[in-house]
Amino acid sequence: MTPSIPPIYRRLGGVTSHLVVAVIALVVIGGATRVMEAGLACPDWPLCFGTLLPGRQMNLQVFLEWFHRLDAFVVGVALLVMAIAATALRRRLPRWFPWVSVLLVLMVALQGGLGALTVLQLLPSQVVTAHLTVALALVALLSAVTQRLLDPAVGRPPFWWRPLSGLALAAVIAQCLLGAQMATSWAAQRCLAGGEACRSVSLHRFGAMPAAGLVLLFVLVALLAGGWSRRQWPWLLSSLLLVAAQALLGVTTLRLGLQQPLVTITHQLVAALLVAVLAALTVRRPSSPLPFPCSVVVDDTALETCHG
């Protein structure tokens, strides 16, 4: 049996689920900004050409950079409001939620600071990679929080569940960061054009195999174990499909010589979705069964027993 979800949990879960979508969109728009070479389309920060909404200078590149900042601002405000509400209503919420809400605000503030450094220091590779690292951490944490709010089960998963799923999640994030390091140093373009910086491309390519293998291992163990683990097959199948799509998009991106921005952007979208799914899987729990079944039609005595 699944415990009933308190209304406040459901409302907050709705907010955090929307924030997961917003942060994934933030990652994708940031990727599109890099692919379209629009990282410095707005030369100043936090304004864009000295205004909140550039008019005469507006084009596709300026719009991408401006909208990326707008999405980040909206996410930051939403997280701040949620943290204030969580602190005020902390007696009605899980003990961990106010602390996590504050952590999310600190993370998005760090993300904003890294975004400012990205512009002011003219797109240094290490800062851009750190910017993506915090963004993926936000996706993972928000996805995990949403899962715990909308499925507040209190049982314990099998002892291997969290180590395997957590290891798969860490491997996928590490692979994303290898890709970011390769992209921000333009290693793929340099390798394809003149045979330079091919080491970064090789690291990203060969790093995909252990990351995909860990996801596959986790899924196979879950399906073979049966019981509650096998009943998570929709989530498990989703992670497998995302891994397959990610591998196909990666190969396609290189074979097209990185000349198709839409393929590269989709590659980043699938990576963010895979991080969100694995984070949700990591914190899933089975529902604790009742010590004995309670009849649907009961008398007063049975009600007293079930209440106890």
The pLDDT tens digits for 44-97 are 888 888 888 888 888 888 898 899 999 899 999 999 999 999 999 989 999 999
- pLDDT: is 236 or 30 the higher one? 236
Cβ contact 281:238 at 8 Å:
no
Length of the chain: 308
| CA–CA dist 229, 285 (Å, integer) | 10
> Which span out of 201-215, 244-258, 263-277 was modeled with the highest average pLDDT?
263-277
How far is CA 254 from each of CA 91, 188, 234, rounded to the nearest angstrom? 53, 8, 31
> Which of the four pLDDT bands, split at 50, 70 and 90, describes residue 307?
very low
- Residues paired with 48 in a beta bridge: 51
Predicted local confidence at residue 299, as pLDDT: 40
What average pLDDT does range 109-127 have in this prediction? 85
> Which span out of 49-58, 110-119, 204-213, 229-238 was modeled with the highest average pLDDT?
229-238
Q: φ, ψ for residue 231 (rounded to 5)?
A: -70, -10
Predicted local confidence at residue 36, as pLDDT: 81
Cβ contact 19:142 at 8 Å:
yes
Predicted local confidence at residue 12, as pLDDT: 92
pLDDT tens digits, one per residue of 227-247? 999 999 999 999 999 999 999
Percent of the chain as helix, strand, coil, to the nearest 5: 75, 0, 25
- pLDDT: is 136 or 302 the higher one? 136
> Which of the four pLDDT bands, split at 50, 70 and 90, describes residue 220?
very high
- Residues paired with 51 in a beta bridge: 48
Residue for token pair 């996805």: 143
Instruction: Look over the chain and give the mean of its residue pLDDT values, rounded to a whole number.
Output: 85
Query: Which of 201, 209, 200 lies closest to 257 in space, CA to CA?
Result: 201
What average pLDDT does range 3-17 have in this prediction? 87
Q: Count of CB atoms within 10 A of residue 198's CB?
A: 15
| CA–CA dist 231, 245 (Å, integer) | 23
pLDDT over threshold 90, residue 290:
no
| CA–CA dist 202, 119 (Å, integer) | 29
| CA–CA dist 142, 12 (Å, integer) | 11
Cβ contact 141:102 at 8 Å:
no
